[in-house]
Amino acid sequence: MRKTIFARWRRSFLTGLAVTLPGIISVAALMWLFKTVSNLTDVLLFFLPKAVTHGDDGAGNVYWYWSALALLLAVALISLVGLLARYYIGKRVIEWMDTALLNVPIFNKFYGAIKQVNEAFSGNKNSFKTVVMVEFPREGMYSVGFLTSEEPAELQTKIQEKLVCVFIPTTPNPTSGFLVLVPIDRVMKLNMSVSEGVKYIVSLGSISPETNARFK
């Protein structure tokens, strides 16, 4: 009898866990993201006294509602930068800032790399072109990647074979990965869009284009 009751409880618990786990993980992820971002955006509250924004007379953490206000302020400032970037003067200011940051020793290495990755994902002329599948890291194993260049000119002269550059992202963090040179006839192009390919990689393969269609 006890075994039967325990078996029923176990079955109910596992079923409930399967139902609630996506929601629990989503809430936890949002809370972590809010806390992480607020650690940066809270700096925007510098004009307010800590006795107002912090607990324990300025010695504690920032109150969550002040962090939310700082986040909204950051969104407004980013939107303002985006608006200015659409006009000539704004573009010139951004170009000047880019040049200045790229001339800072050491910092320019990080800034330049992050800027290139951001441009690749944002869809400019240097963006990833096509989602592909190649044999990596060894023959018989396949990885999803992004075609970044079809004609690495200098390399073509070294190897008498047409190669293409493929970026293989790591998962779940697609901002790092491997650049591999693959013969063009060994590259299998997929019907995924670049955004679908990114979702597929970030989700550890659990969100396929067919899954995306159900949530649109």
The CATH number for 201's domain is: 2.30.30
Measured in degrees and rounded to the nearest 5, phi and psi for residue 62 equal -70, 135
What is the CA angle 184-186-190, rounded to 5? 90
Question: What is the DSSP code (8-state) at residue 187?
Answer: -
The answer, yes or no, to whether residue 53 has pLDDT greater than 50, is yes
Q: What is the 3-state secondary structure (H, E, C) of 65-107?
A: HHHHHHHHHHHHHHHHHHHHCCCHHHHHHHHHHHHHHHCCCCH
58 confidence band (pLDDT: 50, 70, 90) = low
Q: Is the pTM of this model over 0.75?
A: no
Does residue 142 share a domain with residue 96?
A: no
Does residue 46 share a domain with residue 113?
A: no
Q: 69-119: per-residue pLDDT in tens?
A: 888 999 998 898 888 888 888 888 888 888 888 888 888 777 877 777 676
Q: 144-164: per-residue pLDDT in tens?
A: 998 887 766 666 677 777 888
Does residue 47 share a domain with residue 101?
A: no
Quote the CA–CA distance of 170 and 128 in Å, as a whole number.
15
Whether residue 105 has a cis bond before it, omega within 30° of 0: no
Does residue 180 share a domain with residue 110?
A: no
Does residue 179 share a domain with residue 102?
A: no
Does residue 189 share a domain with residue 166?
A: yes
Count of domains observed in the chain: 3
Token readout for 114 is 């992050």
Does residue 78 share a domain with residue 116?
A: no
The answer, yes or no, to whether residue 52 has pLDDT greater than 90, is no
Does residue 98 share a domain with residue 76?
A: no
Q: Average pLDDT, stretch 114-129?
A: 63
Does residue 113 share a domain with residue 40?
A: no
Does residue 139 share a domain with residue 100?
A: no
Does residue 136 share a domain with residue 121?
A: no
Higher-scoring residue by pLDDT: 151, 21: 21
Domain range for 175 is: 130-215
Does residue 80 share a domain with residue 3?
A: yes
